[in-house]
Amino acid sequence: MPRLVPAVCLAVPLALALSACGGADSDKKPAAQSKSKETAPAGVAHQHTVLAAEIAARGGKARVGEFNVGYIVEAAEPWFHAEHGKHGKHGKQVHRPPAKDETHHIEIIPMEAKSGRIVPNVPITLEVVNKDGKVVQAKKLNFYYSEFFHYANNFSIPKAGKYTLRAKLDAPTFLRHGGSGEKPALSEGATATFRNVELKPEN
C-alpha cells in the first residue's frame, strides 16, 4: 500500500513523559525543569500522519464511548506469523500470502479519544453485514505491526456492494494505574458501526 506521507517531529517534555508513567517516584516533587526538551522519535508522529491520511482516503472514523474507532479497507494482504514449534513454543516467522478466496484486508484502529493513542490488547470481532442484515462473514482481528499498529484480518466478500461493518470491541485486557475510588480508564467495551461501506474486488 503506498504510504508516502512525510514524517513530522513531535516534541514532548521529558518531565511530562515520566510523570505520566506513574512510577515509584511520581509522588515526589518534580525536579527543576531543564531548558532542553526530549524529542520523540519521528515515527511516533509519522504513524498518526499516515493513519489520518489512510482513514480519510479509504475508510472512516466514529466516536464510541472512550474510543475513536477508525477503519480502513484495502485489498487482501500477506503477513508473517509464528509457526508453532515443539512443546507449543513459537517458532520462526513464516510468510503467509492471501488465500485465493480472500478479497479484502479490513483494518480497525481503536484510539483513546482523549489522548489519540492507539490502544493495545483490545479483543475485537468484526462482522461484515449485507443490505438484508445478514452477517456474511465475522472474524476475530489480529494485532499487526506496520507503519501504525492496527487490528485486521483478511475477508472473503462474495460480491461487490455496500455493506455495514460492525466492530465489537471488548475492554482492553491490560492492567490500569489509578487511585482508590477512581473509574479505571478504558474499562468498558464498545461497538462501532460503519454503514454504506463499499466493498469491491481490489486484487
- Reading the block at residue 128, the C-alpha cell is 461484515
In a domain, 141, yes or no: yes
pLDDT at 202: 67
pLDDT at 13: 41
In a domain, 1, yes or no: no
pLDDT at 38: 75
In a domain, 194, yes or no: yes
In a domain, 164, yes or no: yes
70/33 Cα distance (integer angstroms) = 37
Residue pair 4/50 in contact (Cβ under 8 Å)? The answer is no
Backbone angles phi, psi at 158, to 5 degrees: -65, -35
In a domain, 149, yes or no: yes
Averaged pLDDT score across all residues of the chain: 85
Q: Which residue has the cell 492507539?
A: 118
Q: Where are the alpha helices (DSSP H) in the chain?
A: 14-19, 42-58
Q: 188: domain range? A: 37-175+183-199
CATH number at residue 83: 2.60.40.2480
- Reading the block at residue 170, the C-alpha cell is 471488548
Domain count, the chain: 1
pLDDT at 81: 93
pLDDT tens, the chain, 203 aa long: 544 444 433 344 434 333 444 444 444 445 555 555 777 788 889 999 999 999 999 999 999 999 999 999 999 999 999 987 666 566 799 999 999 999 999 999 999 999 999 999 999 999 999 999 999 999 999 999 999 999 999 999 989 999 999 999 999 999 999 999 999 999 999 999 999 999 997 65
In a domain, 126, yes or no: yes
DSSP string, 99-151: PTT--EEEEEEEEETTT-PBPPS--EEEEEE-TTS-EEEEEEPEEE-SSS-EE
In a domain, 13, yes or no: no
pLDDT at 91: 79
Provide the whole-model pTM.
0.79
In a domain, 16, yes or no: no
